[in-house]
Structure 1
Amino acid sequence: MECDIQDLIIEGEVPKDLFGSYYRNGPDPQFPPMGGQYHWFSGDGMIHAFHFENGKISYRNRWVQTSKWKQERTAGRALVNSLNPMEPDPIFNFEGEDGTANTNIIFHANKLLALEEGHPPFELD
Structure 2
Amino acid sequence: MALRDSLGLLTRPLAEERAEAEADTAEWRELFARLGLTGADASEEAEIQAVYGCLLRTPARMIGVWLPDGVGDRRPQNLPGTWDQYPNWRLPIADTNGRPVTLEELTASPRLRALIDVLRQ
- Normalising by structure 1, we get a TM-score of 0.22
Query: Whose relative contact order is higher, 1 or 2, with alpha carbons under 8 Å and at least 6 apart?
Result: 1
- Normalising by structure 2, we get a TM-score of 0.22
- Structure (1 or 2) with the greater helix fraction: 2
- Structure (1 or 2) with the greater strand fraction: 1
